[in-house]
């Protein structure tokens, strides 16, 4: 009896430890390759919703099966950090942010070289892609990604408040400040202006102000310029708008969902944000100001109106994937002219010149937004954050003076110390 029970326990123990080992093993890539499965990882986005609905169409025409993983932005980054770092082949196609992760991923060899693939199909037409987005998905002369979504910073404003105050849509930064001031004074419960305030989150939206004041994060030789006179002015202006005419008790942690919520709750008159998020403001289900929101190009600073014009997301193939040809087939389908046009009609600004030339491509956009986008695309700057490898850290450094300015601290001194830290950071990246 005793022996039997020992046997029983030993067998259970052995089986259990085997079970554990089985849990640890990943699914083999060879299976996926043979059965024609493409594993696609995408971010939560309007673009993804459109693609998701159309996937059966791709599966039918290609005979491949798509395994889709969909994650929030931060979770997606963490997933890539873990899986790509481990050299995992569990991802074939990945949606990534060329300006945020592109350089680091390319440097680490996570992205497959697509140069010969993009030029092989003239019908798909790589030449149709706008120059800025292509530059951002190219690393060391090799194409490593295909842009899917582009965005520019535009001015969201409340037509009713402007009309009530007898004001015109501001064309310059001074006019914007004066209008924000006038509206805040006339409506104490409404902020004149709102925008992102989080140290890291605000950097991209601040960048257009920086360029419009004549500054940039670095000069042509790659040296820090965040303490130039123009940069200091831009920091003081952006922070000052929020400090003086922003919401009461303004948080310094706001990214777009928080800032957008204030605007769409009807608590702010002006809001500068990426155009690709416009549906949040015009959809009556999400916005109380859907009827009264207007759009305009970013007001001009001393150096003109220079918003960023960037590809916010792209698709790439995992270098470690054993399924690269099928992965490319998926990308080719998802980024075709037809799909790009369909996505653009659903509210996702595309990177192809043809969809902007086609009147059907802008038919679903509010007229003033389409005009603002066209103007921004003309004067746009191709980056909205420092172009470095460790973008996360760089954003924290150059974002410091924004927060200092919003909280009423000495923004000029903060820009000086950010300059020292940023230069040190840039030097360390060169090593």
Partner 1 sequence: MSVMTPPRSAARNAGRAPGAREKFSDWANRHRKWLFAAPAMAFVGVLIIFPLAWTLYLSLTDSQGSVRAATEFIGLENYLTVLSDVERFWPAVGRTLTFTGIALVCEVALGMGIALLLWRPFRGEKWVRVAILLPLVATPVAVGMMWRLIFDPNIGFANQLLAAVGIPAQPWLSGQDTALGTTIFMDVWQWTPMVVLILLAGLTSLSEEPDEAARMDGANAFQRFFFITLPLMMPTVIVAILLRGIDALKTFDILYATKGKGGGSFHEVETLNVYAYGLSFDYNQYGLSSAVLILFFMIIIGSMWLLTMRKKAVSK
Task: Decide: is 267 part of the binding site for partner 1 (CB under 8 A).
Answer: yes
Task: Decide: is 53 part of the binding site for partner 1 (CB under 8 A).
Answer: no
Distance CA 311, CA 384 (A): 10
In the complex, minimum distance from the CB of residue 197 to partner 1, in angstroms, rounded to a whole number: 7
By CB under 8 A, the residues from 182 to 241 that bind partner 1 are: 197-200
CB 136 within 8 A of CB 311: yes
Task: Decide: is 262 part of the binding site for partner 1 (CB under 8 A).
Answer: yes
CB 375 within 8 A of CB 305: yes
Using DSSP, state whether 224 is helix, strand or coil: strand
Task: Decide: is 265 part of the binding site for partner 1 (CB under 8 A).
Answer: yes
Distance CA 347, CA 217 (A): 30
Query: With CB under 8 A as the contact rule, which of the stretches 57-65, 132-140, 150-158, 248-256 interacts with partner 1?
Result: 248-256
Task: Decide: is 390 part of the binding site for partner 1 (CB under 8 A).
Answer: yes
In the complex, minimum distance from the CB of residue 302 to partner 1, in angstroms, rounded to a whole number: 27
Distance CA 31, CA 52 (A): 23
Identity of the residue, 101 or 216, whose beta carbon is nearer to partner 1 in the bound complex: 101
- Strands 93-96 and 191-194 come out as unpaired
Task: Decide: is 119 part of the binding site for partner 1 (CB under 8 A).
Answer: no
By CB under 8 A, the residues from 330 to 389 that bind partner 1 are: 389
Identity of the residue, 76 or 298, whose beta carbon is nearer to partner 1 in the bound complex: 76
Give the dihedral of Cα atoms 33, 43, 310, 327; nearest 10 deg: 10
Task: Decide: is 393 part of the binding site for partner 1 (CB under 8 A).
Answer: yes
Task: Decide: is 1 part of the binding site for partner 1 (CB under 8 A).
Answer: no
What ranges in 335-410 are assigned the alpha helix state H? 337-345, 353-357, 359-362, 367-379, 391-406
Residue with tokens 């990426």: 274
DSSP 88-154: --S-SEEEE-TTTTHHHHHHTT-B---HHHHHH-TTT-GGGB-HHHHHHTEETTEE--EEEEEEEEE
In the complex, minimum distance from the CB of residue 76 to partner 1, in angstroms, rounded to a whole number: 12
CB 224 within 8 A of CB 422: yes
Burial of residue 112 (CB within 10 Å: 0-12, 13-18, 19+) is buried
In the complex, minimum distance from the CB of residue 12 to partner 1, in angstroms, rounded to a whole number: 5
Task: Decide: is 248 part of the binding site for partner 1 (CB under 8 A).
Answer: yes
In the complex, minimum distance from the CB of residue 406 to partner 1, in angstroms, rounded to a whole number: 9
Member of 30, 69, 85, 363 binding partner 1 (CB under 8 A): 85
Member of 58, 96, 110, 278 binding partner 1 (CB under 8 A): 110
- Strands 268-274 and 142-143 come out as unpaired
CB 245 within 8 A of CB 181: yes
Identity of the residue, 108 or 363, whose beta carbon is nearer to partner 1 in the bound complex: 108
CA dist list (Å): 3 to 6, 16, 156: 5, 20, 78
Identity of the residue, 281 or 388, whose beta carbon is nearer to partner 1 in the bound complex: 388
Member of 30, 61, 81, 364 binding partner 1 (CB under 8 A): 81
Member of 247, 299, 311, 401 binding partner 1 (CB under 8 A): 247
Per-residue b/e over 64-97, b at no fewer than 16 CB within 10 Å?
bebeeebbeeeebbebbeebbeeebbbbbbbbbb
Using DSSP, state whether 261 is helix, strand or coil: helix
In the complex, minimum distance from the CB of residue 107 to partner 1, in angstroms, rounded to a whole number: 6
Beta strand residue intervals within 179-292, DSSP E: 191-194, 268-274
Member of 18, 186, 413, 420 binding partner 1 (CB under 8 A): 18
In the complex, minimum distance from the CB of residue 424 to partner 1, in angstroms, rounded to a whole number: 13
Identity of the residue, 105 or 237, whose beta carbon is nearer to partner 1 in the bound complex: 105
Identity of the residue, 204 or 376, whose beta carbon is nearer to partner 1 in the bound complex: 204
Task: Decide: is 150 part of the binding site for partner 1 (CB under 8 A).
Answer: no
Binding site for partner 1 (CB under 8 A): 2-4, 6-20, 24, 74, 77-78, 81, 84-87, 104, 107-110, 197-200, 247-253, 255, 261-262, 265, 267, 389-390, 392-393, 396, 399, 403, 407
């Amino acid at each position: 009896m005793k022996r039997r029970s020992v046997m029983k326990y030993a067998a259970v123990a052995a089986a259990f430890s085997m079970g554990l080992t089985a849990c640890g093993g990943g699914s083999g890539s060879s299976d996926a390759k043979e059965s024609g499965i493409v594993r696609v990882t995408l971010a939560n986005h309007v673009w993804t919703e459109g693609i998701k609905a159309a996937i059966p169409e791709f599966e039918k025409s290609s005979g491949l099966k798509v395994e889709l993983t969909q994650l929030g932005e931060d979770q997606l980054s963490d997933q890539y950090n873990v899986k790509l770092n481990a050299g995992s082949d569990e991802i074939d196609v990945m949606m990534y942010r060329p300006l945020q992760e592109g350089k680091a991923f390319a440097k680490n060899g996570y992205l497959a070289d697509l140069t010969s693939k993009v030029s092989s199909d003239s019908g798909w037409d790589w030449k149709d892609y706008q120059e800025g987005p292509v530059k951002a998905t190219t690393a060391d002369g090799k194409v490593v990604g295909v842009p899917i979504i582009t965005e520019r910073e535009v001015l969201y404003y409340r037509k009713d408040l402007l009309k009530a105050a007898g004001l015109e849509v501001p064309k310059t930064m001074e006019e914007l400040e004066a209008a924000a001031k006038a509206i805040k004074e006339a409506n104490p419960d409404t902020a004149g202006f709102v925008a992102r305030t989080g140290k890291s989150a605000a950097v991209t939206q601040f960048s257009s102000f920086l360029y419009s004041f004549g500054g940039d994060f670095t000069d042509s030789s790659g040296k820090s310029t965040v303490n130039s006179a123009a940069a200091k002015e831009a920091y003081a202006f952006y922070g000052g708008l929020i400090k003086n005419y922003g919401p009461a008790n303004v948080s310094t942690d706001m990214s777009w969902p928080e800032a957008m919520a204030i605007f769409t709750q009807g608590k702010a008159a002006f809001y500068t944000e990426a155009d690709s998020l416009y549906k949040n403001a015009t959809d009556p289900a999400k916005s109380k100001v859907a009827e009264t929101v207007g759009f305009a190009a970013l007001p001009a600073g001393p150096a003109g109106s220079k918003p960023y014009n960037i590809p916010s997301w792209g698709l790439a193939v995992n270098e470690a994937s054993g399924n690269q040809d099928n992965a490319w087939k998926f990308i080719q389908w998802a980024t075709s002219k037809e799909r790009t046009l369909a996505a653009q009609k659903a509210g996702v600004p595309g990177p192809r010149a043809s969809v902007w030339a086609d009147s059907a491509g802008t038919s679903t956009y509010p007229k003033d937004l389409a005009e603002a986008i066209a103007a921004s695309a003309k004067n746009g700057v191709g980056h909205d954050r420092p172009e470095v490898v460790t973008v996360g850290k760089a954003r924290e450094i150059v974002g410091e003076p924004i927060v200092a300015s919003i909280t009423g601290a000495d923004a000029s001194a903060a820009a000086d110390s950010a300059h020292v830290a940023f230069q040190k950071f840039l030097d360390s990246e060169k090593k």
